[in-house]
Amino acid sequence: MRADLAAIYGEERLPRYTSYPTAPHFSPAIGPDTYARWLAELPAGASASLYLHVPFCREMCWYCGCHTQIVRRDELIAGYQRTLRSEIALAAETIGRRIKVEHIHFGGGTPTIMAPEALVELMATMRQKFFVLPSAEIAVEIDPRTLTADMVEAMRLSGVNRASLGVQSFDPVVQRAINRVQSFEQTASVVDMLRRAGIEGINFDLIYGLPHQTVASCLDTVRRSLALAPDRFSVFGYAHVPDFKKHQRMINEAVLADGLARHDQSCAIANALKEAGYVQIGLDHFARPGDSMAVALEQRTLRRNFQGYTTDKSEVLLGFGASAIGHLPQGYVQNEVQIGAYAQSIAAGRLATAKGYGLTDDDRLRADIIERIMCEFGADLGDICARHGAEAGTMLKSAARLKPLISDGIVRLDGDRLAVAKDSRFLVRSVAAAFDAHLDPGKQLHSRAV
């Protein structure tokens, strides 16, 4: 990574491009009726992935950027689970047939905050309303501090085969500064429980750029994590947006790393993981050779969605729960963010769509270009444009932000083939942004580019 470029581009606020257009461009013009029509129009051979959002935690981690709330009363969680089941049934009824499902992802919040029997009931509902393939990947995000043996058994019975553990940092100084004290021993115990239950797919989430973090503390976290041998790592830069996430105001900005220090931390983590034999997947994922995600990268079938990089090939993502986002061929939909409004809609027998976005042909073209750049650090613009009935030259002319990237050596153009220089791949979001027709640089809606 080139530190000079990190200094120039690293402070820019850019999307992570887990969708295009990105969520700030969603509009209330897309509501329940539109979503119902889109569901009914799904082609006969369509398959889907399911995302279930559980927006509850026992305590707030101050770095968190998710839609979640602190809850002490388990009956609130139980009521929410019943609403989820009703929403799943309503969506399936609207589709009008039992379509195939290849991926299921429980996100949060803390999905394992539910009672174990609630998870089993949810999975039973999904299997009843959809045709969940025997080979389906079923993933659950886990807070190792609160996972119980009963929940692990429920996961096993439900067919869960992948667990994503929030680690962030093992440095106790950093942990206290973000209100998430989690020992290495707790994490190791959970990994052992999962593996003994036959849940072999283990992901670790790490974060750099947290308060008091240093290169040394990042490397120590990597060293400890490697001792537990997860299959995959996700390594994210902390997004400090206290105007949108007010609990982040508990973090002292004076002890946050600047762009260059974040660059050094990110580089150190990436190098350590690659030296340990992991394959870098796009911007921020790492996987063991032979892992399905590493294979997808090699076969150029890697995709990107709201969970980050994925092996999911489906063109349909159905989102369930408050604030959940779905993606269909026609566009994006997002549920009501407030749990009460979400529950009221479902109780009334109405889809809880609060806003969304109807895709244009130009959006689909740009989305394909951006996804290939994010997944492969390059794109064959001629091939992609031809598939959309467009001209690569016209697309390049519209991408004015490419010019400085080319002159700075970040991007190389060989005819219509675009490639991000190897020493500049940490700026891949800056390259993707060159094709974002909706981007407003004046709005501070996103995290820093580095």
pLDDT tens digits for range 144-198: 999 999 999 999 999 999 999 999 999 999 999 999 999 999 999 999 999 999 9
Please check whether residue 191 is in contact with residue 165, taking contact to mean a CB–CB distance below 8 angstroms: yes
Give the pLDDT score at 334.
Answer: 98
Contacts of residue 319, Cβ cutoff 8 Å, sequence gap at least 6: 51, 53, 306, 325, 326, 333, 334, 335
Can you name the residues that pair with 53 across neighbouring β-strands? Answer: 107
- % of the chain surpassing 70 pLDDT: 97
Q: Is the pLDDT of residue 2 over 80?
A: no
Q: Is the pLDDT of residue 11 over 80?
A: no
Give the pLDDT score at 449.
Answer: 54
- % of the chain surpassing 90 pLDDT: 87
Please check whether residue 9 is in contact with residue 449, taking contact to mean a CB–CB distance below 8 angstroms: yes
Rounded to two decimals, what is the model's pTM?
0.94
Domains with residue ranges and CATH for the chain: 1-20+361-450 (1.10.10.920), 21-325 (3.80.30.20)
Q: Is omega for the bond preceding 15 within 30 degrees of 0, making it cis?
A: no
Q: Is the pLDDT of residue 444 over 70?
A: no
346 half-sphere exposure, CB direction, 13 A CA radius? 24
Q: Is the pLDDT of residue 302 over 80?
A: yes
Q: How confident is the model at residue 446 (pLDDT cuts 50, 70, 90)?
A: low
Beta-strand (E) ranges in 246-330?
279-281, 285-287, 303-305, 308-310, 317-320, 325-328
Tokens of 368: 């394909």
Give the pLDDT score at 442.
Answer: 58
Angle (deg, nearest 10), helices 116-129 and 149-158: 10
**Residue (of 231, 310, 234) closest to 277 by Cα position:** 231
Tokens of 392: 């690569």
Least confident range of 2-6, 169-173, 218-222: 2-6
Beta strands at 279-281 and 232-237: parallel, antiparallel or unpaired: unpaired
Q: Is the pLDDT of residue 6 over 80?
A: no
Least confident range of 14-18, 140-144, 175-179, 355-359: 14-18
Q: Is the pLDDT of residue 441 over 70?
A: no
Give the pLDDT score at 273.
Answer: 98
Instruction: Give Cα 39 distance to the centre of its chain.
Output: 23
Query: Cα(first)–Cα(last) distance of the chain, in Å?
Result: 11
Give the pLDDT score at 429.
Answer: 93
